[in-house]
Every structure is written in C-alpha cells, then in structure tokens.
C-alpha cells in the first residue's frame, strides 16, 4: 500500500509528465519560430518562480530554528545529554545488559 507521500509524489510526477507531453505536442504543431518564443516566455516565468521559491526558503529558515533547553546533571554518576543519543550510557556499578563498545 502506498503511503501519503509516495502517492503525492507519483501524482505530481504523472501530472508533470502529462504536462510536458502536452506542451511538446502543442509546440510541435505551432511551428518552430512561435514555439521558440513561447518556450522563452515559459522559461522566464519558471526562472522567476524558482527565484521566488528560493527567496521564500531563505526567509523561512531565517527564523532561527528550535532552541533546545540547556541540560544539567547533578549528583554522582549523573548523565546529561544535549542532543539525541542512540547509544548506551553506563555509569559503572552493577551494570547489566548490553556492554558499551
């Protein structure tokens, strides 16, 4: 079964391929000179849309990101992590389970 993202990607790909085939058929019927002019205008608009999206992406990232709260540890053998940990943390005494590498 397809996930939501896979379905959207396939739908977008099918739409883009259909649009490109339709555009190719249309441009081949109007003649080379007119097709060249139309393709130039389409290229300008695609470039402007791409520039706008790039600027929007830069502005969206400028907001700073998530601020992680400071971590602190107190007491004997306490452990404080400032990021994501995917490993084993051992403080020593009476350890059981997987051995650290």
**Residue 15: what pLDDT?**
96
Distance in angstroms (rounded) separating the CA atoms of residues 75 and 67: 26
| Tokens coding 96 | 């059981």
Classify residue 37: in a domain, yes or no: yes
CA dihedral for 52, 54, 57, 62, sign (positive or negative): negative
Range of the domain at 53: 31-61
Number of domains in the chain: 1
> Does 16 reside within a domain?
no
Full-model pTM: 0.47
Which tops the pLDDT comparison, 83 or 37?
Answer: 37
74-84: average pLDDT: 74
Residue 39's region, left for phi above 0, alpha for psi from -120 to 50, else beta, is alpha
- The per-residue pLDDT for range 10-59, each reduced to its tens digit, is 999 999 999 999 989 998 899 989 989 999 999 999 999 999 999 998 88
H/E stretch holding 21 reads helix 4-30
- 95 inside domain: no
């Amino acid at each position: 079964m397809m996930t939501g993202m896979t379905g959207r990607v396939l739908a977008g790909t099918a739409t883009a391929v259909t649009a490109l085939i339709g555009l190719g058929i249309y441009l081949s019927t109007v003649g080379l000179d007119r097709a060249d002019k139309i393709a130039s205008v389409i290229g300008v608009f695609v470039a402007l849309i791409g520039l706008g999206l790039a600027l929007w992406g830069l502005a969206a990232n400028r907001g700073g990101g998530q601020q992680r709260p400071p971590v602190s540890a107190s007491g004997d053998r306490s452990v404080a992590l400032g990021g994501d940990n995917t490993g084993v943390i051992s403080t020593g005494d009476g350890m059981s389970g997987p051995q650290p590498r």
